[in-house]
Amino acid sequence: MKNRILFLTAISVIALFVLVACGSATPTSAPTTTGGTTTLDGQSIMQTACTQCHGLAPIYNTQTDEAGWTQIVDNMISRGAVLSPEEKTALIQYLAANY
């Protein structure tokens, strides 16, 4: 009984760490200014936001169009990825242009 309680406690703590790592991080991306317009760096957003829960291999191994990336990014947001609307747009544009 004591071992079971210890096991359940350990599993709960691990689950808590995973949830915190995937859901509470606020990605930061450095905006760049060109000719008076500010744009976000899609690559930086990808490296920051996407790696909160998984590596970059799934991205490197996926080749789809903008509609496909939009669906994938929306799915990741529903799973806890934190992106502002502007970051989402910049990320999708970057992914569609490069993968």
What pLDDT score was predicted for residue 97?
A: 96
At residue 18's C-alpha, the angle toward residues 54 and 72, to 5°, is 40
Q: Three-class SS of residue 5?
A: helix
Mean pLDDT of the chain: 79
Q: Structurally, how many domains does the chain consist of?
A: 1
What pLDDT score was predicted for residue 26?
A: 42
| Residue 85 burial (C-beta neighbours within 10 Å; 0-12, 13-18, 19+) | exposed
pLDDT at 4 over 80: no
Name the more confident of 87 and 39.
87
Q: What is the CATH number of the domain that holds 64?
A: 1.10.760.10
Are the C-beta atoms of 22 and 52 separated by less than 8 Å?
A: yes
Using CA atoms, how far residue 8 sits from 1, 22, 92, in Å, is 11, 21, 39
- The range of the structural domain enclosing residue 13 comes to 2-98
Are the C-beta atoms of 91 and 83 separated by less than 8 Å?
A: yes
pLDDT in tens, 26-66: 444 445 544 554 568 999 999 999 999 999 999 999 999 99
The gap from C-alpha 12 to its chain's centroid, in whole angstroms, comes to: 23
